[in-house]
Structure 1
Amino acid sequence: MPELNLEPLAEPLWPLLNKFYRSHNSSMKALKGGRLWVARVDGIVAGVCLTPVVGGQWLTGVFVDPAYRGQGLASRLIGEAVADVDGTVWLLCHPGLEGLYRRMGFSQDTVLPQSLSERLVRYRRNKPMIAMGLDALPER
């Protein structure tokens, strides 16, 4: 069985993550100015993007290849990606994903920066969405 690698994706390789999203008919995109992380087994099997916002980072683009779901891969990848983040990590997601993110330590008891608050209002015009946040873990 090939080894699973969790790693940041260098900027010149960002088109590979967008290609991965497209291959699964996902509308997600790697955001410019963000830090991309991927899980690889031969090729990319999962990806996430962290984009700086006031007070922390915005987590987007969380997608795991359906063949690799149910194995805790999203949790592992997000854990690696946010391990050295200062501030809060926020995400906007469908309410059905709340349990998944709550198990990772995210909570709806969070205060969004204005840019994400405005985005949430726009997103809610077309679909149900919630906001969640994960505060930076204290250093040990």
Structure 2
Amino acid sequence: MHIERLAPPLWPLLNKFYRSHDSSMKALKDGQLWVARDSEIVAGVCLSPVVGGQWLTGVFVAPTHRGQGLAARLIGEAVADCEGTVWLLCHPDLERLYQGMGFSQDTVLPQSLSERLVRYKRNKPMIAMGLNALDKR
């Protein structure tokens, strides 16, 4: 399994991967896109800059490759050189998964993500988690 940052001309491949699995995820154009691939993309994530760090979105692993620690490996590679905090917004059912990667609900969100969380929570249960730069080492 090869993990790599996608070059901008290849960004449509990540959206194609999401669509092929009927996922509503989308690759954000202002971010860094990371993928895991065998002969084809089997997992992807997106990191977008926000005040104080990065926002992790688009975490998706193909159903055939789940349960193998691939999300943790991919996220680990993607955030390895990030400065500041890496935040994510997720369903409460995923808290244990992200805790295993070092994320914690004990985090202070930048205003842009705090406002987004309030909007998201109107329609579904959501929590915010963060991973500080010191915790990545």
Residue aligned with 1:58, SS = strand
Shift of residue 138, structure 1, vs aligned partner: 6.8
| Consecutive unaligned residues in structure 1, runs of 5 or more | none
Cα-to-partner distance string for 1:83-139 (whole Å, 9 max, x where unaligned): 000000000000000000000000000000000000000000000000000000379
Partner of 1:17: 14
Inter-CA distance 62–71: structure 2 relative to 1 (3 Å threshold) = same
Q: Distance in 1 between matches of 2:135 and 2:28?
A: 28
Give the counterpart letter for 1:116 in structure 2: L
> In 2, Cα distance between the equivalents of 1:21 and 1:39?
13
1:32 shift after superposition: 1.2
Long gaps (5+) in structure 2: none
RMSD: 1.2
2-structure distance, mates of 1:55, 1:32: 19
TM-score, with length taken from structure 2: 0.98
What's the counterpart of residue 95 of structure 1? 92
Distance across 2 between alignment mates of 1:62 and 1:11: 18
Q: Percent identity over the alignment?
A: 81
Correspondent of 1:76 among 67, 73, 77: 73
Question: In the superposition, relative to structure 1, how do residues 27 and 138 fare at CA in structure 2: closer, same or farther (>3 Å)?
Answer: closer
Structure-2 change in CA distance of 1:96 and 1:61 (3 Å): same
Q: Distance in 1 between matches of 2:136 and 2:77?
A: 15
Alignment length (residue pairs): 137
TM-score for the superposition, normalised by structure 1: 0.96
* Structure 1 moving runs of 4+ over 6 Å: none
